[in-house]
Amino acid sequence: MTQEKLTHNLFKNLVTSLALVLALGGFTQVAHATYAIPSTRAISWMGNAGVQGEIPVRSTIYTTLKPSGGDDAAAIKSAIANCPAGQVVQLSAGTFNVSSPIVVKSNVTLRGNGMGSTIIKGRSGMSGTSVVGIGSRPTVGSAIALTGGLNKGSTTITTATAHGWTPGTIIVIDQLNNVNDDPPVTNVGNNGTCSWCGRLSGTRSLGQTAKVVAVPSPTTATLEIPLYWSYDTSLSPQGVKLSGVTIQAGIEKLTVDNSLSGSSAQKSSGTLLLLGTSNCWVQDTEVIGAYEAILLLNYGAYRNTIRANKLHEGFPTTAGDGTTSYATSRAYGINSQMYSSANLIENNQIYHLSTGLITAGPFSGNVFAYNYITSLYLNVLNFNPYAISFHGSHAFMNLIEGNYIDSRVASDWVWGTKSHNTFFRNKIALAPNRTGGAWDIDLQVNSRYYNIIGNVLGRSTESLYTLEAQDAKTSAIYRLGYNNDGDGSATGNDINVANSVVRHGNWDTYSNAVTWNRSDDQTLPLSLYLTGKPTWWGGLQWPCIGPDVSPKYPAAPGAGKGTPWANGSVKVVSSPSLTSVK
């Protein structure tokens, strides 16, 4: 037994013995209240993520299309262009071949006959950077200085001059980076400067997307969701209008197949795109084949819902010696860049990709919940990929809840800082048979004020409970404050990562016990964003993961066979093999 494990077990025995002494002495235990994350470290996600009022159920069919056997792109585009607001373009069963991207406009639903039944298939050599999407890149307006109402929780902001916004306007709120702040905010990391991590070449990488719901005066605006952050007037906070945002559009019940059309034309893009979208959705949809990303959220994605989808298969690269691999910037799962806020990503299967969720640029106030991430690929075959990676500056106030993950989750130091993100009731274990990068939770330099609450962690192969400020490259449940994946030295590590993290009520395989944070309440909430069991939930216990339920997590079905808690809405279909793309 290692010295650390011996010390850890002695501490647990001491706590148990103290409790027994108090009981024998006539003391009664005080009932614990339900634990609440301190308000300075989190926001209210309940009711503030995903399509407002839920995804609408549209029953009016504008037209039904059948495959032609040729190029169906023009017919689908024409139907979408002419579809009245609030109606559906219905695609029948069969394969619709397309030679250019299909883009859904505002207030229209594109619906198929079900995953694997209706297939939109990109043709080899097709034009464009995606196969299917919602929206297009919005126009960014002139910056307007913000002067008041800037404290966290505020819903009314004040501008220095007349803003010209109207109810329904989508705006971006941001401020200048400050590497000397607490937490530090910068778009500079181990890989250099992230010019795409925010406006003005990434120098404004802390911010959020918001919706104006009222205009009390020419210089005030009321916001739909309270501010996530207390913005600092010395850092020049600004608001900018996004024009051309697509609203209330949806993609449902079909398969998007990129197996023939995947190519370098999709670099910096995704097989399925949501660009400048508000209250839009992708539901019960399968997406096959990622060149760079299987699904990209970008340019002010606000209050969208991505639910019950099956996202899988990435294109490998071919090296000069003929070997294939999944290299940098390839085969990502869900990729978010440039101001994504208040989105809900839940109950999706993500597998045979190089990561599950990766973020760059301001990613704030989002909920990533009850997703099943397994069987990830990586160019280094024995290394644990990032199942979730807060990657580019500056992700903050996001909730990661109830996910079933077979690999490492990380907040890295590649393109800058991150802070104030919460992992709650997740099952996180290292990938089977991978010994490199063997840290279940890896918070690197300048990842501050994280909350790790009520999770079930580990695969019984970890050598330490916490790897921190020491010269070692061993496996551990937690690795805190290191500079990069290859850093095995204590030199230059960030002790403030460990000093600022809250770890409470987590069960791990190393300790074989629950570790609590001092005297904090030991009754955990059932959820941090749901008021009760969701309507799509199956027959399993609710909640399904945690140290306070039995068993602590459900059995996983394996890649491609549904989430452990699916109610049967996700259909299993066979997947095409993907050829490698140079």
Distance CA 249, CA 256 (A): 17
Burial class (CB in 10 A: 0-12, 13-18, 19+), 149: middle
Distance CA 74, CA 81 (A): 10
For the segment 395-417, what is each residue's pLDDT rounded down to a tens digit?
A: 999 999 999 999 999 999 999 99
- Local structure of 395: helix, strand or coil: coil
Which pLDDT band, with edges at 50, 70 and 90, does 569 fall under?
Answer: low
- Of 454, 463, 479, nearest to 399 by C-alpha is 454
- Local structure of 563: helix, strand or coil: coil
Number of Cβ atoms within 10 Å of the Cβ of 451: 22
Farthest CA pair distance, the chain: 83
For the segment 234-266, what is each residue's pLDDT rounded down to a tens digit?
A: 999 999 999 999 999 999 999 999 999 999 999
Distance CA 190, CA 493 (A): 13
Residue 26: its pLDDT value, please? 34
Which pLDDT band, with edges at 50, 70 and 90, does 24 fall under?
Answer: very low
- Of 237, 286, 322, 248, nearest to 580 by C-alpha is 322
Which pLDDT band, with edges at 50, 70 and 90, does 327 fall under?
Answer: low
pLDDT above 60 (res 72)? yes
Instruction: Return mean pLDDT, the chain.
Output: 91
pTM: 0.93
Enumerate helices (H) and strands (E) in the chain, giving the number of each. Answer: 4, 50
Tell me, rounded to whole angstroms, the distance of Cα 299 from its chain centroid: 16
Q: What is the DSSP string of 283-334?
A: EEEEEEEESSEEEEEESS-BS-EEES-EEEEEPPEE-TTS-EE--TT-SEEE
Given a contact cutoff of 8 angstroms between Cβ atoms, the answer to whether 369 and 392 are in contact is: no
State phi, psi for 15 to the nearest 5 degrees.
-60, -45
- Of 2, 97, 501, 573, nearest to 309 by C-alpha is 573
Tell me, rounded to whole angstroms, the distance of Cα 60 from its chain centroid: 33
Question: For residues 296-309, b (16+ Cβ closer than 10 Å) or e, as one string?
Answer: bbbbbbbbbbbbbb
For the segment 498-521, what is each residue's pLDDT rounded down to a tens digit?
A: 999 999 999 999 999 999 999 999
pLDDT above 70 (res 2)? no
Contacts of 43 (CB under 8 A, 6+ apart): 152, 226, 228, 365, 397
Residue 320: its pLDDT value, please? 61
pLDDT above 70 (res 350)? yes
For the segment 100-143, what is each residue's pLDDT rounded down to a tens digit?
A: 999 999 999 999 999 999 999 999 999 999 999 999 999 999 99
- Local structure of 24: helix, strand or coil: helix
Residue 506: its pLDDT value, please? 98
pLDDT above 90 (res 19)? no
For the segment 197-229, what is each residue's pLDDT rounded down to a tens digit?
A: 999 999 999 999 999 999 999 999 999 999 999
Q: Range with the lowest mean pLDDT among 222-231, 271-280, 314-323, 530-539?
A: 314-323
Q: Round the CA-based radius of gyration of the chain to a whole number and report it.
A: 24
For the segment 294-320, what is each residue's pLDDT rounded down to a tens digit?
A: 999 999 999 999 999 999 999 876 656
Burial class (CB in 10 A: 0-12, 13-18, 19+), 530: buried
- Of 429, 387, 428, 401, nearest to 345 by C-alpha is 401
pLDDT above 60 (res 15)? no
pLDDT above 60 (res 13)? no
